[in-house]
Structure 1
């Protein structure tokens, strides 16, 4: 694998600065000038790598996707079912919830109603997450540790549960309640898979 180019490194630095600025001030207030101020550089440097704020937001959504996909990367020689168990424990946990700030995530989400290109990008993000889970389910089917009629539909159902849980939990400040609600949703996901639920 080759080393990242200076362009790739600089673009990632800019995207991380946008993320930090959006987390502090909201995405709608995160101008190119504010991103440049966060990096202590001239705004022209940002515009050299990203021609518009929309281009920068596209890169931010890719950054969010890559953060989420990391949770599926299980470095292990364990069985497919054990790897799936770890993925489920991860996505139904605070580990998943702390990958990306809720306010940045939902700020990006609101843009899908105004910009069809951002809507398409966000759809790709969600589809990629579902595809990753589908691949884990298919590996378990091939291994003989799961029996599912349609792993793709099953992955979609699990994500419907997960997204509903996180949307609701954004409004629940109490840690114990958040844990209890997430635990209930996690049990439903295990039931859909016909798997025995185990505490993480």
Structure 2
């Protein structure tokens, strides 16, 4: 059992080094040799843990999902509606960018068109994000602080707005303009929920 934990830790360490290298060099320019150099290890250590770069990319997508879960962390105190507002404020903020580089995210995303396993991983990632938001909506409904006919559909709609916003904002260089546009999109989400921002 201890051996498995050490192996898991080593794999996580490699994936983090892969992410950092891909962020600095670009995903397409990142090789096993460059990751090994960044870690100051022999490339055979990486190949002992991952068969090839494709397997590393799959692990990277799992890493992205685990990072995105942090956006759902809320203060322990407060009501369900307080937690939902905190999550919405996090979702429609630049906290996403601090979690995962847009460059790495979209470079991995582009692989869905050529690799069915990566497509499935990304679908799983996006479905999970929607389910997490839906669970917050359901908690608010149970609390009596929110009235929705179809929380699943509402979560999907909010995520459609969010994904479109981030895709578009990748092209905007002006930080103030980005914040202004994101604030508008956040307001749309609050309007859908009939909540005050």
Shorter chain as denominator, the TM-score bin is over 0.9
The CA deviation string for residues 108-138 of structure 1, in whole angstroms up to 9 with x for no partner, is: 0000001000000011011111111010000
Partner of 2:99, secondary structure, is coil
Aligned mates of 1:155, 1:14 — CA distance in 2: 34
Q: In the TM superposition, what is the alpha-carbon distance from 1:97 to its structure 2 partner?
A: 2.4
Which residue of the partner structure matches residue 76 of structure 2? 76
Q: In the TM superposition, what is the alpha-carbon distance from 1:150 to its structure 2 partner?
A: 0.9
Aligned mates of 1:121, 1:96 — CA distance in 2: 19
- Please state if 1:64 is matched with 2:30: no
- Please state if 1:121 is matched with 2:121: yes
Flag structure 2 segments of 5+ consecutive residues without an equivalent: none
Partner of 1:147, secondary structure, is coil
Aligned mates of 1:43, 1:97 — CA distance in 2: 30
Q: In the TM superposition, what is the alpha-carbon distance from 1:99 to its structure 2 partner?
A: 1.0
Q: In the TM superposition, what is the alpha-carbon distance from 1:95 to its structure 2 partner?
A: 1.2
Q: Map of 1:39-188 to 2, 5 A cutoff?
A: 39-188=39-188
Which residue of the partner structure matches residue 195 of structure 2? 195
- Please state if 1:33 is matched with 2:25: no
After TM superposition, the score normalised by the length of structure 2 is 0.96
Q: Over the residues paired in the alignment, what is the CA RMSD in angstroms?
A: 1.3
Partner of 1:98, secondary structure, is helix
After TM superposition, the score normalised by the length of structure 1 is 0.94
Aligned mates of 1:195, 1:57 — CA distance in 2: 39
